[in-house]
A and B are shown apart, each in its own frame.
Chain A
Amino acid sequence: MGLVLKGVMQAPVTPLNDDFSLDLPTLEKVTDFHVRTGATGITWPYHKSESLNMTIAERKAGAEAVIRTVARRVPVAIHVSSLAVRDSIELARHAEDKGADCVVAITPYFWEPTPQSIFDFFVRLGTSIGLPFLAYNSPGYLSGVEITSDLLARMIERLPNLIGVKEASFNSEKFLELSRCALAMKPDFSMIAGVEYLLPSIPLGGRGSYSSAGAICPNLVVELYRSCAAGEWAKARECQYKISRLWMIFRDQYPSSLKGGMVMMGRPVGPTRPPLPTATRERQEYIRTQLEDMGILDSEPYGW
C-alpha cells in the first residue's frame, strides 16, 4: 500500500457561481492555491466542500477536476460519503478509475448503525476498490455513532487497504484509544485530526490533520505543524490558539463563514448552497476585523 498521509492536508471548498452552479475553473484555482501554499495532500469534497449538497454527477466532475489540477504533486483523496451506500461505492470506484490515490468515507449517515453494520459497510467499501482508504470518525455530528478501538482493530485486521482514520471527535480519550490500538497493529497507520487540532493530537501519535483555515492563513497552518513536529510547544500554542479561534468562527454553519472570510483574503468563491446560509456583507466584515486582530491580514497571501 505504501501511502502514509501526514502533515496538514487541505480540502478545497467548492466554489459556486451566483446561480449556485458549480464553478469548476475556480475549484481548480483553490486546489492549486492549496498545493502551492504547503498542503501535503488534497481531499475533496468534504462536508466543508458541501459534499452533501451536490449531485453524484457534480461530485464526479469536481473529483476529476481536482485530480487533474493536483497532477500528482501531492496525494489526492476523494471523499465518497453519501446518504446511500450504493452512491459511496460508485464514487469510490469512480475515484479509483480517474487516478485518485485514496478514498475517505464516514460511518453511515442517519441510521445510527450498530458496530457490526459499520464494520460491514467499511468491508463492502474497502473491498470494492484497490485503493487505500481512510475511515472517518465524527461522533459529535452523527448522534454518537463512532468507530471504537475494538471495531477499528477488526477493520484493520480485515482490510489491508485501511491506512488511517480521519478522527474528528477532538477528544483526548477517543483519539488515544484509536491511536494506541491502530499504531500497535500497524505502525505506519495515519491518525489524522479532522481539522488542525495538531497540538493535542500529534503528541498522542497523530501524523497530521485536515484543515479549516488553510484557505485563509496557509502560513500559520504550516507553522503550526512545523512547531508541533519540532516540539516547539510555546510557538505551537501561539499558532494553535489563533487557529482554534478561527475554527470557533467557522464551525457554525461550516463553511459559510469560511467562504465569507475568503472574500476578505481576495479569494472569493461565491455563495454557499442552501440549506446553509451565505455569509452576509456584515458577517464578512466581522471576520475581517477578527483576521486583522490576529495579524493574519499582514502575514498571509492575498489573492490567488
Chain B
Amino acid sequence: MATFKPGLVHAPVTPFKRDEQIDFGTYAKLIEFHLANGAQTLAVPMHAGESVSLNDEERMKLIEYAIKRVKGRVPVMAHASQSGTGVAADLAQRAAALGAAAVVATTPYYWTPPAHMLLEHFTQIGAAAGVPFFVYNSPEEMGGVKITADIVLKLIDRLENFAGVIDASLDWQFMIEVVSTAQNKRPDFQLLTGAEYMISAGATGATGMIAPMAAVAPRAVQKLWDLCVLEKYEEARPVQESVAALRQAVKPLGVAGLKAAITYMQRKGGAMRAPLEAPTAAAKKKLVAALEAIPALRDEPRGW
C-alpha cells in the first residue's frame, strides 16, 4: 500500500438550496475556491458537509461530483460513516470504485460498542474500501465512544491499507500515545488533527490537519499549516490564536455558523438541511460581531 499523506485537508460544506436540494452550482464554486486556496486534499462530505443529512445515493452523487470536478488536481477523501457496519462498508466500497483516494469512517452513530466490536466495524469498512483507510476519533460527537491506541495497533495488524487516525478529541494523552506507538509499528502512519489546532498536534508528531475553517480564512489556515510544518511554533502562535478565535465564533451555531461565516466573507455557504436550522437574526448578529472582532479576517479573500 503506497503511503498516502493527506497533509492540509480542506473539508467543504454542502450548500443546499431553499428547498433543501443540493446546490451543485455553488458546490462547484466552493471546490474551486478550496483548490485555489491551498487544499492539499479534499474531504467530502465530512460532518461540516452535513454528511449525516444526505441519503446514501446523494452522498455517492456528491462524492462522484467532487471527484469529477477535482479531476485529479488533489486527492479526494470520501467520508463513509454510518451506524451499521454493512451500510458503511458498502459506502466505502462504492466511494473507492468512484475514484476516492482514501476513505474515512467514524465510530458508529448512536450505538456505543465496546472495543472488540469497534475493531470489527472498522476492519470490515477498511477491507471494503481497499484504498488508504482512516478512522475518525470524535468522542464528544459520538456519545463518548473513543478509539483507543490499542484498537489502532490492532487495525495496523489487520489491514494493510489502514493509513491513520483523524483525531477530533484534541486530547494530548491520546494523540501522543497513538502517534508514538503506531508510527513505531507502521512508519508511514498518519495522525491528522480533526480541527485547526495544529500547533499542539504538530509538536506531538501529527502529519495532517482537517480544516473546515479554510472556507472562511484560507490564508490564516495556510500560514498556520506552513509554520507548523517548519516547526516554527512561536511564530505560529498568533496565527493559531486567530484561527481559534474564528472557530470559537462559529462554534455556538455549528455548521450553520460555518455556512453563515462563509456568506459573511461574500461567498455562499447555502441553506441548511433539516434538522439543522438557519441561525436567527439575533444569533447571526452575534456571529457577525464576533467575526468583526477578529483582525486577521481583514487579510482574507472576500468573494470567490
Q: Which residues of A contact B (CB under 8 A)?
A: 170-177, 180, 197, 199-201, 203-205, 231, 233, 236-237, 240-241, 244-245, 247-248, 251
Contact = CB atoms under 8 A, between A and B. Distances in A.
Q: Which applies to chain A's interface (DSSP): helix, strand, loop or mixed? A: helix
B203 A203 contact: yes
B231 A244 contact: no
Contact of A176 (B175, B203, B244): B244
A171 B244 contact: no
Contacts of B203: 199-200, 203, 233, 236-237
A112 B112 CA distance: 25
Contacts of B38: none
A205 B244 CA distance: 14
A240 B200 CA distance: 12
A200 B237 contact: no
B3 to A, nearest CB: 20
Interface string B260-285: 00000000000000000000000000
Interface in B219-252: 231, 233-234, 236-237, 240-241, 244-245, 247-248
A200 B233 CA distance: 10
A27 to B, nearest CB: 29
Interface of B: 169-173, 175-177, 180, 193, 195, 197, 199-201, 203-205, 231, 233-234, 236-237, 240-241, 244-245, 247-248
Contacts of B248: 177
Given A172-B172, A203-B236, 5 more contacts: A180-B245, A200-B204, A240-B176, A244-B173, A245-B177
Contacts of B175: 200
Given A200-B204, A231-B233, A244-B176, A171 B241 contact: no
Contacts of A199: 176, 200, 203-204
Contacts of A174: 170
B173 A231 contact: no
Contacts of A180: 241, 244-245
Q: Which applies to chain B's interface (DSSP): helix, strand, loop or mixed? A: helix
A173 B176 contact: no
A197 B172 CA distance: 7
Given A203-B234, A203-B237, A172 B201 contact: yes
Contacts of B173: 170, 197, 244, 247-248, 251
A18 B3 CA distance: 55
Contacts of B180: 241, 244-245
Nearest to B197: A172
B200 A172 contact: yes
A180 B199 CA distance: 14
B237 A173 contact: no
A203 B199 contact: yes
Nearest to A236: B203
A231 B172 contact: no
Contacts of B205: 237
A171 B201 CA distance: 10
Contacts of B231: 231, 233
A248 B177 contact: yes
A168 to B, nearest CB: 11
B276 to A, nearest CB: 22
